[in-house]
Structure 1
Amino acid sequence: MKKNLRILPILLSLIMIFMLIPQRAYLEEKEKSIIILFTHDMHDHLYPFDVEEDGVIKTLGGYARLNSTINKEREKAPNLLLVDGGDFSMGTLFQTIFASHSPGIRLMGKMGYDVVTFGNHEFDFRADGLAYSLKAAKDSGEFLPQIVASNISFPLDDNGQLTPALTELKNSMEYYGVEDYTVIERNGIKIGIFGLMGKEAASNAPMSEVEFTDPIQAARDTVQELKNEEKVDLIICLSHSGTWEDKSKSEDEILAKEVPDIDIIISGHTHTTLIEPIIVGNTIIASSGRYGENLGVLNLVNDEEKWRVKDYRLEPIEEHLALDPEIAETIEYYKEIVQEEYLDRFNMVFDEVVAYTPFNFTSYGVLGKDHDEDILGNLISDSYIYAVKEAEGEDYEPIAASVVPTGTIRGSFIKGYITVSDVFNVSSLGIGPDKVSGYPLISVYLTGKELKTVAEVDASIAPIMSVAQLYTSGLNFTFNPNRLIFNKVTDVYLQKEDGSREEVRDDELYRVVAGLYSAQMLSIVGDKSFGLLSIVPKTKEGLPITDYEAQIIYDEGHEIKEWLAIAEYLKSFDKENGVPQVPLYYSQKQGRKIVDDNPNLFARLKNPNKVTLVAYSVVLFIIALIILLIGIIIKKKKKVHAK
């Protein structure tokens, strides 16, 4: 009896264990989970970069440290998913070998990315540039991530044929294996992943040659196929569309509302850092910031009703993290190629010091947020004029103004030594007809009236479209933000090199220098202003420009690139201990753009232009009409009362 009593607790324990095992298994089967690691807007920031935050300089990012963090997450969850939301290229010197060696996508392959999508900057080297990049990646024989892009179409020319460049791109995309979507199984979960280019992002790829179909409709069609044909459990959209504080412009939030069957949106393009995900209905929107400064970690569980967030965090890629040796070695390999294939032609060296700045310029993170003059904008616009002067020598024709939009500035300088690499990062966009990285400078002519319109573009369009804020050299103006749109500028004049003031004459032609992309964008302000503002860049003879590339400025046979103009200008400063020093002149504003925030009614209404006079006339007509109608109603009431 005693023996049986001793055995009883053991039997009860065994029964409890056996009862728990199936229940635990049932729970595991019931609750599926997956971990998704994500990045976006990496922009070829293979090396770490410095930023200034609240007076403190931090070193962030770098693929070698990023990969160490990815591997740590993989140790905890070997079946995780690693994805990227586009713009993995264009932003540093490594982009210069995009077409020939495709370093970005190949490094992402080495880091084990499963799926990525295109951003608008993958098209900066035009259709054939992207084609060559995809081919170079595929020909490497290395492991590469799947690329998904669901709303790209290839328009035919007037003869019903693809252009040679589009034929090249279409063939290369097929060769690489680019698809609308892909299906991956992890942890017993069937996952459908598709890529999408947003409308605003598509508008920033003017030389892509492809057409981007409506993203909402493309998403609906793809989601339908993933649900009905592929029978997936989880749908992820790698969306290069972005989110904004203004909900009416926040494309990925709109996408989530319009296509509610998307479970996860990895949201790129706007460089947004979401400390917490945005939840729209049952859709989870995640963003991790730019340049690989964070690794996004999203842990999802499914309770058979919907996917929900179990854990969401952004792992900062900071200086104390270990470098992955294989990735670090690969980056050095690509750096040597950049030097040989790109920098040698300009007699520049990757880490060459071109100047020292004793102060911080405006941090890139806040650049353009204030509608005001900016010291970095002043430096860049001055550099354009300097570079053209040096290139033209005795044949130099005076430049009235140079123009730099905020949207073309991609970085900044912090206190300390400035290298060639730093300069390129500040002005890294685009490519010229020479097929060499970097937008070239061009010379155009505008009438005095159009120069005044340039000032009005800044004053009136920039609040609607922040990337259109302009920084100028030579063109000074004052505006009142309280005045009626398209009539905010109250004073415009040209400041000559000797500091004297010159009035702008409406009918005179003035020479203006800008980057190739910027000059082309100035010509479309008519569309952005509903036809009320007009800028038509012209030749010296006053004829409208039809071929902007014919206006490129050259120096000793090569295009003057925007970044090269800045580098040469920095090198021209007075030296201290053999190093050019950025003058303290650039540490403060110079009165080139004055914001007169006067709320006074007289200040708001005085000196109306033609646009404003028309608006006033319309308002007065409406008021008069209302008064007339009120009068008619009162008379009728009086007649009724009299009867």
Structure 2
Amino acid sequence: MKRNIKVLLILMILLIAMAIPHKTFVEEGKNSLTILFTHDLHDHYYPFQVEEKGQIKTLGGYARLYSVIKSEREKDPNLLLIDGGDFSMGTLFQTIFSTDSPALRIMGKMGYDVTTFGNHEFDFRAEGLAESLMAAKNSRDPLPEIVASNIFFPEDDNELLSPELEKLKKSMVEYGVKDYVIIERKGFKIGIFGLMGKEADSNAPMAGVEFTDQIKAAKNMVNILKDEENVDLIICLSHSGTSSDKSKSEDEILAKEIPDIDVIISAHTHTTLHEPIIVGNTIIASCGQYGENLGIINISPGQDNKWHLKDYRLEPITDSIPMDETISEEIEYYKSIVQDKYLDRFNLTFDEVLAYSPFSFTPLGKLGSEHGEDILGNLISDSYIYAVKKAEGENYEPIAVAIVPNGTIRGSFVKGYITVDHVFTVSSLGIGADKVSGYPLISVYLTGKELKTVAEVDASIAPIMSVAQLYTSGLNYTFNPNRLIFNKVTDVYLEREDGSREEIEDDKLYRVVAGLYSAQMLSIVGDKSFGLLSIVPKTKDGVPIEDFEAHIIYDSGHEIKEWLALAEYLKSFDKENGIPQVPEYYSQKQGRKIVDDDPSIIARIKNPNRIALILYSIILIILTLIALLIRIIIRRRKKKTFA
């Protein structure tokens, strides 16, 4: 009897055990989702060096990045790999963006599922992006999906697109660019859409297309994904970014406005978030720039129908990680194409050493963080004058000023050898009239009064917009940040080649050299300052310039690119053991821009300019009116009292 009872008990236990679902490790994994992410890669296929706390570190590189991706895939073969845009533009590999589309093709071979457009994908204008998409498509290589939900194609008065926009629209259809995509992993239905942010939009002046309101576009996407597609998870690849100023933190605003977005991959601002920003139930993630980290998110669904964060980390891509041979070979293949199609025209090679620097320049992350002179800005602006003087030879007309905005500097130099690749990275933006990568130098003329305005623009606008900070060669000035806006400059003059001072004559025309984009931006100062300031680039005869490309400077039949001017200048330095050495002169500031932080009342108001006088007059009138109003009120009260 006892034996029968024991048997019955064992059978009952077995039956209960069979009825209760036992989750193995593999089954447990089915209840969570791993998301790997990057953004702002900017064609940084090779590792790069940075200086941190006096130590030079080697970070990034796609071959090492891919080794980490593969390692994560071994743990979870069904993970998701996504990117937040600006995958191109930033190194020599961008020079074959239109012809060979290396970025999309390498990302495809690395197994990226989805990416979106950043503002820099439009650097070569609508036609350049169209050609890149078709080059990728025609390669027949595996490619990532592209999502972009708020692109609008403007039509002209005849309701027809321009040929360039028509070409882009057709290529997007051919490639398969969509508003959103649906991907299924581990039984989860995942909706992913892309978005171009407001600030990013403002940095794509050559795009041709327009970008519709980001919040409205995102709301529309979420409604479709929830109500029509019935997805389990919504991810936004947002090329918008975050900011310490919450009023400008676009992706935090997006999360507050549209709480049904589960994950936002936040790109554009190159932010490194070692801990995610959580807004309601939305996870906002950023992993820095240039592939220096691989972002890793692990989330699982809860019984409350919400996704819960189980793990978030940034995996540093350091030189201790082995390089994947397949991706290394792929990079070398594209490197050879860059040499053939781009560098050969300049008689330079990819890894050619141009100079040696015995010191490090300002790291890119700190460049522009302080309002003042910068040694890298000095080097670049000086290089412009050198390159033009060398190109024009006996026909050289003296340049009074060279201008370099902080926002056009995309890299820096650490102590050691400086190669062609390094130099291009520092000044990699744009394209010229020749449709060849790199902004060219152009020559314009400004009056002395306008040169003073250039100094005032830097002094007044740079604290609000760091990318607008200017570095100059030939134009020296002192400013007091405590003074009234547009009246901060207290001293401004030209520095001659021999170092002597030259006073500026208001009505005289002076020759100025800048990059194509920078010169064009000077002409919009009037709009940005509400008409209080004016800079109108002119010809030598004083005629306002309409076609800036007509004033590009050439050397031996090709445009003098910004980066090429810097390369030629580095090669000109005195040699040691056959290698040019960067002079110690560039290791310290030279008094080109002096900050006089005197907070006294006298320092704040002395020597007011026309703008200050107008503003002071307005303030005085307002104060007078207030005083009169107070006096009238007091009189009326007294009358009522005596009555």
2:318 is matched with which residue? 318
- Kindly provide the amino acid, as one letter, of the partner of residue 136 in structure 1: A
Deviation string for 1:134-175 (max 9, x for gaps)? 111011111100001111111223433211111111111111
Deviation at 1:408, TM superposition (A): 0.3
Does the Cα contact within 8 Å between 1:381 and 1:471 map onto a contact in 2? yes
1:183 is matched with which residue? 182
2:459 is matched with which residue? 459
Does the Cα contact within 8 Å between 1:119 and 1:240 map onto a contact in 2? yes
2:151 is matched with which residue? 152
1:409 is matched with which residue? 409
Aligned residues: 641
SS at match of 1:318: coil
1:121 is matched with which residue? 120
TM-score by length of 2: 0.97
Deviation at 1:12, TM superposition (A): 6.2
Does the Cα contact within 8 Å between 2:30 and 2:186 map onto a contact in 1? no
- Kindly provide the amino acid, as one letter, of the partner of residue 118 in structure 1: F
- Kindly provide the amino acid, as one letter, of the partner of residue 547 in structure 1: D
SS at match of 1:182: strand
1:585 is matched with which residue? 585
Deviation at 1:531, TM superposition (A): 2.1
SS at match of 2:77: coil
1:91 is matched with which residue? 90
Deviation at 1:9, TM superposition (A): 7.0
Deviation string for 1:265-317 (max 9, x for gaps)? 11111101111111122221111100000000011122133222111100000
Deviation at 1:17, TM superposition (A): 2.6
- Kindly provide the amino acid, as one letter, of the partner of residue 330 in structure 1: E
SS at match of 1:640: helix
Q: CA RMSD in A?
A: 1.7
Deviation string for 1:397-443 (max 9, x for gaps)? 01010000000000000000000000001000011011111000000
In structure 2, C-alpha distance between the alignment counterparts of 1:30 and 1:514, rounded to whole Å: 56
1:267 is matched with which residue? 266
In structure 2, C-alpha distance between the alignment counterparts of 1:307 and 1:542, rounded to whole Å: 64
Deviation string for 1:229-276 (max 9, x for gaps)? 111111111111111111111111121222222111111111011111
Deviation string for 1:112-147 (max 9, x for gaps)? 000000001111111111111111101111110000
1:439 is matched with which residue? 439
2:574 is matched with which residue? 574
SS at match of 1:261: coil
In structure 1, C-alpha distance between the alignment counterparts of 2:463 and 2:545, rounded to whole Å: 28
1:197 is matched with which residue? 196
Deviation at 1:349, TM superposition (A): 0.6
In structure 1, C-alpha distance between the alignment counterparts of 2:529 and 2:9, rounded to whole Å: 84
2:299 is matched with which residue? 300
Deviation at 1:7, TM superposition (A): 4.5
SS at match of 1:364: coil
In structure 2, C-alpha distance between the alignment counterparts of 1:32 and 1:519, rounded to whole Å: 55
Deviation at 1:15, TM superposition (A): 4.8
- Kindly provide the amino acid, as one letter, of the partner of residue 456 in structure 2: E
1:420 is matched with which residue? 420
2:641 is matched with which residue? 641
Deviation string for 1:476-520 (max 9, x for gaps)? 000111111111111110000011101111111111000001111
- Kindly provide the amino acid, as one letter, of the partner of residue 56 in structure 1: Q
In structure 1, C-alpha distance between the alignment counterparts of 2:543 and 2:301, rounded to whole Å: 64
1:49 aligns with 2:48: yes
1:480 is matched with which residue? 480
1:616 is matched with which residue? 616
2:81 is matched with which residue? 82
Does the Cα contact within 8 Å between 1:461 and 1:529 map onto a contact in 2? no
Deviation at 1:4, TM superposition (A): 4.6
1:557 aligns with 2:588: no
SS at match of 1:96: helix
1:348 aligns with 2:348: yes
In structure 1, C-alpha distance between the alignment counterparts of 2:214 and 2:307, rounded to whole Å: 23
Does the Cα contact within 8 Å between 1:461 and 1:528 map onto a contact in 2? no
Does the Cα contact within 8 Å between 1:295 and 1:315 map onto a contact in 2? yes
Does the Cα contact within 8 Å between 1:32 and 1:189 map onto a contact in 2? no
Does the Cα contact within 8 Å between 1:243 and 1:251 map onto a contact in 2? yes
In structure 2, C-alpha distance between the alignment counterparts of 1:484 and 1:31, rounded to whole Å: 62
Deviation at 1:32, TM superposition (A): 4.3
Distance 1:539 1:237, change over 3 A: same
Bigger shift: 108-117 or 157-166? 157-166
Identity of aligned pairs, percent?
74
- Kindly provide the amino acid, as one letter, of the partner of residue 56 in structure 2: I
TM-score by length of 1: 0.97
Deviation at 1:522, TM superposition (A): 1.3
Equivalent residues in 2 for 1:214-363, closer than 5 Å: 214-303=213-302, 304-363=304-363
SS at match of 2:21: helix
In structure 1, C-alpha distance between the alignment counterparts of 2:170 and 2:513, rounded to whole Å: 38
2:505 is matched with which residue? 505
SS at match of 2:414: coil
Deviation at 1:384, TM superposition (A): 0.2
Does the Cα contact within 8 Å between 1:31 and 1:302 map onto a contact in 2? no
SS at match of 1:431: coil
SS at match of 2:248: coil
- Kindly provide the amino acid, as one letter, of the partner of residue 116 in structure 1: T
In structure 2, C-alpha distance between the alignment counterparts of 1:219 and 1:622, rounded to whole Å: 45
- Kindly provide the amino acid, as one letter, of the partner of residue 71 in structure 1: K
- Kindly provide the amino acid, as one letter, of the partner of residue 217 in structure 2: A
Bigger shift: 242-251 or 329-338? 242-251
Deviation at 1:21, TM superposition (A): 1.8
In structure 2, C-alpha distance between the alignment counterparts of 1:207 and 1:548, rounded to whole Å: 14
1:492 is matched with which residue? 492
In structure 1, C-alpha distance between the alignment counterparts of 2:246 and 2:215, rounded to whole Å: 16
In structure 2, C-alpha distance between the alignment counterparts of 1:634 and 1:158, rounded to whole Å: 62
Deviation at 1:204, TM superposition (A): 1.1
In structure 1, C-alpha distance between the alignment counterparts of 2:401 and 2:642, rounded to whole Å: 71
